[in-house]
DNA sequence: TGAACAAGCTTCGTATACAATCAAAGGCAA
DNA sequence: TTGCCTTTGATTGTATACGAAGCTTGTTCA
């Protein structure tokens, strides 16, 4: 508690990571006083952070009711992946044309860390790393504007996975990311685009877009864990 | 003044329209007290609105300095149109497959209003309508997520136009929007996609991406006008 | 026994107050 | 006169206080 955080951006970031790592399940109430106490800031700062997350569709702000971790609908889930399918393949293509040795190394380290997290059973962290991998691609493509959209879509995808994905065992155990790195390394733009496209399709078809379970926990437990 | 506005969303919306209509040029300082007085709300509400606009890249929030209407860089200008070229053509295709009579009528009315505004010399309003036309397409395509992105990109495009577009005379005098409506009406998806793509390219190539002028005005004058 | 109403409590929405920071103006010395 | 430093004014960042809205729970009446 009282981790003494400066500024609303940091609050938003910490909450976003917790959401992305499934430590804060969809539907969780985010009490302003409680969050403020945990981070050692006043409600003013917390509110600003929550508003930022609301803009990113990570939390739902209900008037006079409070903030809740968002629960994307089936419709929204489809739209998110539709948007990703428009943005990411072309971005992967661009990245293939620009990726340097340093970029490739960074991506490899990224996948490395993801596998390590999986190995030690930290599924949440693995999922988060798996997501930021996509953001990294956009960064390599030197498209900050698109990268920001993708970052948001990836976060929302994490919520969608929390709600609609049952077979977590296969959590990105697919070697799509490895294949993507190889395509980027060899500068094969067509291949990179194709791999990304099929990777996204894989993700999408592995969703069970029918029901919406959820298992809430206490806020403090999730955040300090 | 003291138009007695409720909530930060309304403040953000009014400022966004003013920016979109070029009544608030890039670089304009948005003083919190001043904006609050104009709308009859406290700084708390104004700040929330400004944060929202910052998230949409319409204003720049500089720590301890205040809020300023954003001045997109040349790099950002390119990225915005790159993103639009990824999202909008495909969305226009979708819209062509879904557009009903009511949708077409609404679009026609939209273009109508745009021409009327041009006729009476209200270039700002014409520009705004020209932009929301694109948002409307996304709405018809029933893609709210993508529509939100496009809305943001359109607003940013307006700032880009304010900075980098000299030949305002040709302000969407092109009949691209008419052609688009015809394609949607006949359900010709290929044509809709092609027209949108070339329309965006037209816009992009009409920019002079070299310098960045600006002519500030007083805040109150722009908002109450 | 069950449903409806009401009182109390919790939580949010907004305003205001105070502290921190920055920028510009003024003074001093070279 | 010019350059630098100090000081002062203005504006933002954060905290807190107060009013409003919603949820909960306990009671009452059918």
Q: What is the pLDDT of residue A214?
A: 43
Q: Are residues B130 and B88 in the same domain?
A: yes
In the predicted model, is pLDDT for residue A76 greater than 80?
Answer: yes
In chain A the first and final C-alpha atoms are separated, in Å, by 11
Q: Are residues B200 and B218 in the same domain?
A: no
Closest listed residue to residue A192, CA positions, set A47, A79, A93, A48: A93
- In the block, tokens 């557009």 appear at B99
C29 C1' to B29 CA distance, Å? 37
In the predicted model, is pLDDT for residue A94 greater than 70?
Answer: yes
Q: What is the pLDDT of residue B209?
A: 85
Q: Which residue of B has its CA nearest to A149?
A: B149
Q: Are A216 and A28 in contact (CB under 8 A)?
A: yes
Q: Is residue A109 part of a domain?
A: yes
CATH number of the domain that residue A101 is part of: 1.20.120.530
Cα separation of A133 and A195, whole Å?
A: 14
Picking from B72, B145, B148, B152 by the largest number of A CB atoms within 10 A of its own CB, the best residue to mutate is B145
Mean pLDDT over all residues of chain B? 90
Q: Are residues A174 and A217 in the same domain?
A: no
Q: Are A57 and A165 in contact (CB under 8 A)?
A: no
Structure tokens belonging to residue B119: 């006729």
DSSP class per residue in chain B: ------SHHHHHHHHHHHHHTTSS-TT-EE-HHHHHHHHT--HHHHHHHHHHHHHTTSEEEETTTEEEE----HHHHHHHHHHHHHHHHHHHHHHHHH--HHHHHHHHHHHHHHHHHHHTT-HHHHHHHHHHHHHHHHHHTT-HHHHHHHHHHHHHHHHHHHHH---GGGTTTSSHHHHHHHHHHTT-HHHHHHHHHHHHHHHHHT--TT--------HHHHHH-
- In the block, tokens 């500068």 appear at A187
Average pLDDT over residues B185-202: 96
Which of the residue ranges A46-50, A168-172, A205-209, B154-158 would you say has the lowest mean pLDDT?
Answer: A168-172
Q: Are A142 and A98 in contact (CB under 8 A)?
A: yes
- Nucleotides of strand D under 7 angstroms from a protein beta carbon: 11-17, 21-23
Q: How many domains does chain A have?
A: 2
Q: pLDDT tier at A71 (50, 70, 90 boundaries)?
A: very high
In the predicted model, is pLDDT for residue B212 greater than 70?
Answer: no
Closest listed residue to residue A164, CA positions, set A73, A89, A47: A73
Q: Are residues A86 and A195 in the same domain?
A: yes
Cα separation of B91 and B84, whole Å?
A: 10
Q: Is residue A103 part of a domain?
A: yes
Average pLDDT over residues A102-124: 93
Which of the residue ranges A26-35, B109-118, B216-225 would you say has the lowest mean pLDDT?
Answer: B216-225
CB-based contacts of B212, cutoff 8 Å, min separation 6: B71, B74, B163, B164
Picking from B32, B84, B86, B204 by the largest number of A CB atoms within 10 A of its own CB, the best residue to mutate is B86
Mean pLDDT over all residues of chain A? 89
In the predicted model, is pLDDT for residue A215 greater than 50?
Answer: no
In the predicted model, is pLDDT for residue B151 greater than 70?
Answer: yes
Cα separation of B152 and A49, whole Å?
A: 20
What is the gyration radius of the CA atoms in chain A, in angstroms?
Answer: 18
Cα separation of B127 and B162, whole Å?
A: 10
Q: Are residues A110 and A98 in the same domain?
A: yes
Phi, psi of B210 (to 5 degrees): -130, -55
State chain A's maximal CA–CA distance in angstroms. Answer: 54
Q: What is the pLDDT of residue B45?
A: 97
Q: Are residues A66 and A157 in the same domain?
A: no
Length of chain B: 225
Average pLDDT over residues B159-180: 80
| Per-residue pLDDT reduced to its tens digit, A126-166 | 999 999 999 999 999 999 999 999 999 999 999 999 999 87
Cα separation of A199 and B5, whole Å?
A: 47
SS3 A195: helix
Q: Is residue B189 part of a domain?
A: yes
Share of chain B above pLDDT 70, in %: 87
Q: What is the pLDDT of residue B175?
A: 85
Q: What is the pLDDT of residue A200?
A: 95
Q: pLDDT tier at B84 (50, 70, 90 boundaries)?
A: very high
Proximity of residue B65 CB to strand C below 7 A? yes
Higher pLDDT: A162 or A173? It is: A162
CB-based contacts of B142, cutoff 8 Å, min separation 6: B94, B98
In the predicted model, is pLDDT for residue A185 greater than 90?
Answer: yes
Q: Is residue B156 part of a domain?
A: yes
Distant-in-sequence contacts of B182-186, Cβ < 8 A, 24+ apart:
B183/B92, B183/B96, B184/B92, B184/B95, B184/B96, B184/B99, B184/B103, B184/B104, B184/B107, B184/B137, B184/B140, B185/B99, B185/B104
Q: Are A223 and A23 in contact (CB under 8 A)?
A: yes
- Scan residues 179-218 of A and list those with Cβ closer than 8 Å to B: none
Q: Are residues B198 and B151 in the same domain?
A: yes
Which of the residue ranges A20-24, A63-67, B68-72, B163-167 would you say has the lowest mean pLDDT?
Answer: B163-167
- Scan residues 56-115 of B and list those with Cβ closer than 8 Å to A: 56, 76, 79-80, 82-83, 86-87, 90
Per the structure, the complete domain to which residue A179 belongs is given by 74-205
Q: Are residues B87 and B149 in the same domain?
A: yes
Q: Are residues B164 and B111 in the same domain?
A: yes
Label residue A218 exposed, middle or buried (CB < 10 Å: 0-12, 13-18, 19+): exposed
Q: What is the pLDDT of residue B210?
A: 75
Q: Is residue B92 part of a domain?
A: yes
Average pLDDT over residues B160-176: 75
Q: Is residue B2 part of a domain?
A: no
Q: What is the pLDDT of residue A2?
A: 34
Q: Are residues B186 and B79 in the same domain?
A: yes
Q: Are A40 and A4 in contact (CB under 8 A)?
A: yes
Phi, psi of A16 (to 5 degrees): -60, -45
Q: What is the pLDDT of residue A209?
A: 85
The closest CB to that of A149, out of B47, B51, B83, belongs to B83
Q: What is the pLDDT of residue A211?
A: 53
Q: Is residue B136 part of a domain?
A: yes
CA dist list (Å): B116 to B112, B126, B129, B130, B203: 6, 8, 11, 12, 21
Q: Is residue A1 part of a domain?
A: no
Q: Are residues B66 and B90 in the same domain?
A: no
Q: What is the pLDDT of residue B215?
A: 45
Cα separation of B72 and A29, whole Å?
A: 37
Q: Are residues A171 and A80 in the same domain?
A: yes
Average pLDDT over residues A59-86: 96
In the predicted model, is pLDDT for residue B8 greater than 90?
Answer: yes
The listed range with the strongest mean pLDDT (A92-101, A109-118, B199-208) is: A92-101
Pairing of strands B29-30, B59-62: unpaired
DSSP conformation class of A13:
H
Closest listed residue to residue A218, CA positions, set A50, A8, A38: A38
Distant-in-sequence contacts of A165-169, Cβ < 8 A, 24+ apart:
A165/A206, A165/A207, A165/A208, A166/A208, A167/A206, A168/A123
CATH number of the domain that residue A15 is part of: 1.10.10.10
Q: Are A5 and A37 in contact (CB under 8 A)?
A: no
């Amino acid at each position: 508690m009282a981790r003494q955080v400066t500024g609303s951006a940091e609050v938003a970031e910490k909450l976003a990571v917790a959401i992305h790592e499934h430590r804060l399940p969809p539907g969780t109430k985010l009490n302003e006083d409680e969050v403020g106490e945990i981070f050692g800031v006043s409600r003013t700062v917390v509110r600003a952070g929550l508003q930022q997350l609301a803009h990113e569709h990570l939390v739902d702000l209900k008037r006079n009711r409070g903030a809740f971790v968002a629960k994307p609908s089936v419709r929204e889930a489809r739209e998110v992946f539709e948007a990703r399918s428009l943005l990411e393949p072309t971005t992967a293509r661009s990245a293939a044309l620009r990726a340097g040795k340093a970029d490739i190394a960074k991506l490899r380290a990224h996948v490395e860390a993801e596998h390590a997290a999986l190995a030690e059973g930290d599924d949440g962290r693995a999922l988060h790393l798996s997501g930021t991998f996509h953001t990294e691609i956009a960064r390599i493509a030197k498209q900050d504007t698109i990268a920001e959209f993708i970052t948001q879509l990836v976060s929302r995808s994490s919520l969608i996975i929390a709600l609609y994905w049952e077979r977590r065992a296969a959590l990105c155990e697919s070697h799509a990311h490895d294949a993507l790195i190889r395509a980027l390394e060899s500068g094969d733009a067509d291949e990179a685009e194709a791999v990304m496209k099929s990777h996204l399709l894989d993700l999408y078809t592995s969703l069970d877009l029918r029901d919406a379970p959820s298992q809430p926990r206490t806020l403090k437990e999730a955040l300090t864990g």
